[in-house]
């Protein structure tokens, strides 16, 4: 087995959220299902929504494009509307905005469990006193972190809300990772970044991070390395074995 670098040796470790710390995709799938099941019942649209619809029409698409595609599959057409539409509007944008409200409801009702291996790594970094931050494109990052019960662990959460406010270019541009390092007052050249998406790996790599870790949740090791990952793991627990245990930890209550 390749020996992995010791992440506690870095000044800070910056984590992507969705797919790295939390399996957020499942909560999004559930939110789509809940929203469209309600909508189809109210509008008497048949056939009813199934999981297949997620993969055929929603997965990987921008939110509004997905809504339009799914409605089209049922021969339903509504006006496009505007992103500022209220959730009560029967427009593509209004329905898309409804999904976001349902997503927040799903998070509150069911919570979201962090990947156990990611939690183990966060524990090891906390025990070693290593600074950690989140760098996510999501506008729901704060809600997801709170639902996962790990918000308090991070000194800085760079998310889609801050990026939009500060006009930061999204991944794969390096801006969000570099700005998060600046907020932490650490040098990217002495810090590590952890990502599961090719665009995220490319972002951290071009930001000059000393170590870019790719977490392979399906993107593929070769593609993650090609995008700029120095090491690729399938689960962050692999780093915990590589982290020397702190003797003081044994005496901590
Ligand atoms: Mg991700």
Of 75, 110, 145, the position where a domain reaches its end is 110
For residues 244 and 194, state if they share a domain.
Answer: yes
For residues 104 and 186, state if they share a domain.
Answer: no
CB atoms within 10 A of CB 166: 11
- Is residue 211 in a domain? yes
- Look at the block and give the residue holding tokens 């930061």: 168
User: Cα–Cα distance between 232 and 211 in angstroms, integer?
Assistant: 11
Ligand 1 centroid, distance to 78 Cα (angstroms): 32
Of 60, 90, 110, the position where a domain reaches its end is 110
Ligand 1 centroid, distance to 18 Cα (angstroms): 4
Q: pLDDT digits over 50-67, tens only?
A: 999 988 998 767 788 899
Q: Tens-of-pLDDT digits for all 253 residues of the chain?
A: 468 999 999 999 999 999 999 998 888 889 999 999 999 999 999 999 999 998 899 876 778 889 999 999 999 999 999 999 999 999 999 999 999 999 999 898 889 999 999 999 999 999 999 999 999 988 889 999 999 999 999 999 999 889 989 999 888 899 999 999 999 999 999 999 999 999 899 999 999 999 999 999 888 999 999 999 999 999 999 999 765 555 554 444 4
For residues 57 and 158, state if they share a domain.
Answer: no
Residues carrying an active site annotation: 16, 18
User: Domain containing 106 — which CATH number?
Assistant: 1.10.150
Ligand 1 centroid, distance to 52 Cα (angstroms): 23
User: Domain containing 151 — which CATH number?
Assistant: 3.40.50.1000
| 18 three-state secondary structure | strand
For residues 72 and 147, state if they share a domain.
Answer: no
Which pLDDT score, from 0 to 100, does residue 251 have?
A: 47
- Look at the block and give the residue holding tokens 């990947």: 115
- Is residue 163 in a domain? yes
For residues 183 and 120, state if they share a domain.
Answer: yes
- Is residue 72 in a domain? yes
CB atoms within 10 A of CB 250: 7
> Which stretches does DSSP call E strand in the chain?
12-15, 131-135, 156-158, 192-195, 211-215, 231-233
Ligand 1 centroid, distance to 224 Cα (angstroms): 12
Ligand 1 centroid, distance to 69 Cα (angstroms): 24
What is the domain extent for residue 148?
A: 7-23+113-251
pTM of structure: 0.82
For residues 172 and 191, state if they share a domain.
Answer: yes
């Amino acid at each position: 087995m390749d020996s992995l670098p010791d992440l506690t040796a870095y000044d800070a470790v910056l984590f992507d959220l969705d797919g790295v710390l939390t399996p957020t995709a499942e909560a999004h799938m559930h939110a789509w299902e809940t929203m469209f099941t309600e909508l189809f019942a109210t509008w008497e649209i048949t056939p009813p929504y199934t999981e297949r619809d997620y993969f055929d029409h929603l997965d990987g698409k921008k939110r509004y494009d997905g809504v339009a595609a799914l409605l089209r599959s049922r021969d339903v057409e509504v006006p496009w509307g505007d992103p500022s539409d209220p959730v009560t509007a029967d427009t593509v944008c209004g329905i898309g905005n409804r999904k976001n409200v349902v997503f927040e409801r799903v998070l509150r009702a069911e919570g979201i469990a962090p990947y156990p291996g990611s939690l183990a790594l966060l524990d090891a970094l906390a025990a070693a006193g290593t600074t950690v931050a989140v760098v996510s494109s999501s506008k729901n990052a704060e809600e997801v972190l709170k639902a996962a019960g790990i918000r308090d662990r991070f000194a800085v959460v760079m998310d889609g809300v801050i990026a939009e406010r500060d006009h930061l270019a999204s991944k794969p541009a390096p801006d969000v990772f570099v700005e998060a390092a600046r907020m932490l007052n650490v040098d990217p050249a002495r810090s590590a970044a952890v990502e599961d998406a090719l665009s995220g790996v490319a972002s951290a790599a071009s930001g000059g991070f000393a170590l870019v870790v790719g977490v392979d949740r399906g993107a593929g090791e070769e593609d993650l390395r090609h995008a700029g990952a120095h090491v690729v793991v399938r689960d962050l627990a692999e780093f915990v074995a590589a982290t020397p245990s702190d003797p003081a930890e044994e005496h901590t209550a």
